Amino acid sequence: MSDKTPAELTRSQKTRLVVMLCVILTFTVMNGTMFNVAIPDIAEDFQLLPSQVTWVMTGYILVFAVGALMYGKLADMYPIKRILTVGIILFAAGATLGLFSQNYAMLLAARILQATGGATIPALAFIIPARFMPKERGRVFGTVSATVAFASGLGPITGGLIGGAFDWRYLFILSILSLITLPFLRKWIPDEEVRPGRIDVIGALLIASAVAGLLFFITAFSLTGLGFFAAAMLVFVLHIRKHPAPFIDPAMLKDKYYTTAVMTSFLGTSVMFGMIFIVPIMARAVYGLSTIEIGLLLFPGALGAAVIGQRGGRLVESRGSYPVLQLAFLLAITGSLLISIFIGIPPFLLALCILVQYVAFPLIQSSTANLLTELVPKEKTGVGIGMFNLMNFLSGAVSSAIFGAFLDLQETSLRLNPVAIYDGLALYSNLFLAISLTAVVALFLFTRRFRGRKRTAL
């Protein structure tokens, strides 16, 4: 591997790069959350069950997940500028196909093509600060995470306005506009040399196959899907033992701190994706809200998350990742528990409960990303962050599929939360109680593993 490192960027160069990185991230994240609020409309257009329409998000996230690790690996070998150029072009091409989609199959094809290119953006958004701005990475991670949180809330508002006034297909136009960032990113991202390495394509395909089988089992309760998952994972385990550069490095997974950090991030992100997936469906079923009103319900949380995320990056730099991540999980537990208790109250009050949970998202992202950059060797930053992104997106796919399957029940008489104030909304109350318990497990695992680790090591 070449010892040559990129030249140090000036302050103005760093600022411009971060700004443009946040712009392209906004397009990417909005692409996901815009379609969240459009899910009821898509289901109505194509006559789909919740477990079927969830593949608009799940299929996208599945490709995103595998792509995030693949692009992280590629970033350890090829110039980031080159990878991002290909990614943005594919992302816009998928959006163009989606704009003209006439059936569900065409829509899914468009989303998968989008994900193939769009996976470069969040994958590299955390690698760029670690590589080109190591001294400010905590603060930049906070800015990136705040952007993700804000865009996730801006997406429903935008999706509601466009989908309500026109048609959900017009949402793809905003993704096509991501092309405007390409010349600026090519100009401002530093040049790099190609470094030697190998890509485990077979390993990537096996992981994708395993996850697809798992999701098919969850959404359709198919034993065939479960068997496909088990077979693919078995072949993958045998494969990585012999491959000189496996898709997932077994040596990295032997680091108990790294593995715990990635696993708790997986659980934490499933909490956030679960909330963002359930709320639009719940808001339509319980409150009869329109698409734009669903966006307004989520927006205060996203705005609060943007503010807290920015401050959280500075807090990570001054206090370390450990206390910030603990705080984030406490907020996630509290917020989801409040939603579980108070579902059925007026929407503007429920928005405050959502706000509490929403602000946990950027804190989980920024503190975990900062922690991982210190746990993995510099030459493996790309694949280390790639694994982080892989598990995050997988958590979104799995949680959306699981919750989509439960939402097919439509109602239940079993109320698991004894203090929930409305008996007739037990299904949604139970789901948010499960989300809260998931955050409790994540907090327990993280605290137990890192309890003996010195703060200076974090």
Predicted confidence at residue 456, as pLDDT, reads 42
Position 8 scores a pLDDT of: 64
pLDDT band of 255, cuts 50, 70, 90: confident
Query: pLDDT at residue 312 above 60?
Result: yes
Sequence-separated (6 or more) residues with CB below 8 Å from residue 425? 286, 343, 344
User: Tens digit of pLDDT for each residue in 224-242?
Assistant: 888 999 999 999 989 988 8
Per the structure block, which two tokens stand in for 246? Answer: 């496996």
Residues 92-104: tens digit of each pLDDT: 999 999 898 888 8
pLDDT for the residue numbered 77: 84
Answer yes or no: are the C-beta atoms of 291 and 40 closer than 8 Å.
Answer: yes
Q: What is the pLDDT of residues 53-79, one digit of tens each?
A: 777 776 777 787 777 778 877 888 888
Supply the pLDDT for residue 333: 95
pLDDT for 184-206, tens place per residue?
888 888 888 887 777 788 888 88
Question: How does pLDDT run across 424-455, given as a tens digit for each residue?
Answer: 788 889 999 999 999 999 999 999 888 766 54
Q: How far apart are CA 325 and CA 64, in angstroms?
A: 24
Residue at token pair 């709320």: 279
More confidently predicted of 129 and 8? 129
* pLDDT band at residue 86 using 50, 70 and 90 as cut-offs: very high
**pLDDT greater than 50 at residue 404:** yes
In the prediction, which pLDDT does 2 show?
42
356 DSSP 8-state letter? H
**pLDDT band per the 50, 70, 90 thresholds, residue 3:** very low
Tell whether the model's pLDDT for residue 457 goes beyond 70: no
Phi, psi of 185 (to 5 degrees): -65, -40
What is the rounded CA–CA span in Å between residue 204 and residue 237? 12
CATH code, 12-190+245-452:
1.20.1250.20
Compute the average pLDDT of residues 112-128: 86
| pLDDT score of 368 | 86
- Note the pLDDT of residue 435: 93
The mean-pLDDT minimum among 76-80, 215-219, 261-265 falls in 215-219
DSSP string, 53-101: HTHHHHHHHHHHHHHHHHHHHHHTTS-HHHHHHHHHHHHHHHHHHHHT-
Domain definitions of the chain by residue range: 12-190+245-452, 200-244
Q: What pLDDT band is residue 220 in, cutting at 50, 70 and 90?
A: low
Mean pLDDT of the chain: 82
Q: Over 90: is that where the pLDDT of 304 sits?
A: no
pTM over 0.85: no
| CA proximity to 265, closest of 407, 372, 129 | 372
pLDDT greater at residue 453 or residue 212: 212
